[in-house]
């Protein structure tokens, strides 16, 4: 019975993480229209493309959406991180329980 409870916790935490990733990705896609934030928020774009400034919305990396979301919507980013921690803890507990018996 405890294994079923832990497995359901893992599944729930995974679904919660996927939901908050989607929310952050959607909110961060607002970066495409915010040209003033390109040079301040598009850190991964500059790193991956080896450029000094972003000149087009097509250059923006998908990872920069998460930076923009964390900068302007920190609650949802914090919830995404908390759900990741919750998922990691539930997986660790499930693995320990399975190994134990």
Query: Residues in the chain with pLDDT < 50?
Result: none
Domain membership of residue 93 (yes or no) is: no
Domains contained in the chain, number: 1
The pLDDT value recorded for residue 101 is: 67
Domain membership of residue 10 (yes or no) is: no
Domain membership of residue 12 (yes or no) is: no
3-state helix vs strand vs coil in the chain, percent to 5: 85, 0, 15
Domain housing 83: 18-87
The pLDDT value recorded for residue 39 is: 86
Domain membership of residue 26 (yes or no) is: yes
Domain membership of residue 24 (yes or no) is: yes
The pLDDT value recorded for residue 18 is: 97
Domain membership of residue 53 (yes or no) is: yes
């Amino acid at each position: 019975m405890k294994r079923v409870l832990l497995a359901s916790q893992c599944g729930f935490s995974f679904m919660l993480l996927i939901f908050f990733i989607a929310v952050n990705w959607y909110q961060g896609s607002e970066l495409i229209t915010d040209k003033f934030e390109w040079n301040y928020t598009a850190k991964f774009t500059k790193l991956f493309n080896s450029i000094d400034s972003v000149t087009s919305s097509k250059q923006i990396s998908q990872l920069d959406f998460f930076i923009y979301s964390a900068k302007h919507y920190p609650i949802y980013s914090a919830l995404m991180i908390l759900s990741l921690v919750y998922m990691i803890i539930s997986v660790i507990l499930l693995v320990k329980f399975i190994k134990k018996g």
